[in-house]
Amino acid sequence: MELVLPNTYVVLEQEEMMYLEGGEPMSVAAIVSLAIAIGGASYSTGYVLGERVYYSGYKNSDYQRNKWAIRGAMIVAFGSVGATIMLGFENRYYALVTGRG
């Protein structure tokens, strides 16, 4: 079996090969860091919302009646970020309702 090269080909530099093979390693780290930052900001937003809702006088019985509609609206409006916001919200709200917060 013999190696057949095309009539025209381009010699690539090392930097070009790195770009073609998957990019710079720092870009992956930046993407992961951004995802973690967005997750943390979303959770913190929900945490603060939980406090504000609790201190506004919203009763747990009212929340229990409406929680699936609220959860659904958050997920429809914000997707996975909405789910993370709800996680922070419910953790803080239930901690305050049960007296553990």
pLDDT of amino acid 2: 73
| Angstrom distances, CA of residue 72 to CA of 49, 75, 88 | 16, 5, 15
Report the alpha-carbon distance of residue 75 to residue 94 in Å, rounded: 20
Report the alpha-carbon distance of residue 54 to residue 12 in Å, rounded: 61
5-38, pLDDT tens digit by residue?
666 766 666 665 555 555 566 677 888 899 999 9
**pLDDT score of 95 more than 70:** yes
**Residues 6+ positions from 45 with CB-CB distance below 8 Å:** 85, 88
Model pTM score: 0.71
34-63, pLDDT tens digit by residue?
999 999 999 999 999 999 999 999 999 999
CB 77 within 8 A of CB 31: no
Report the alpha-carbon distance of residue 96 to residue 57 in Å, rounded: 12
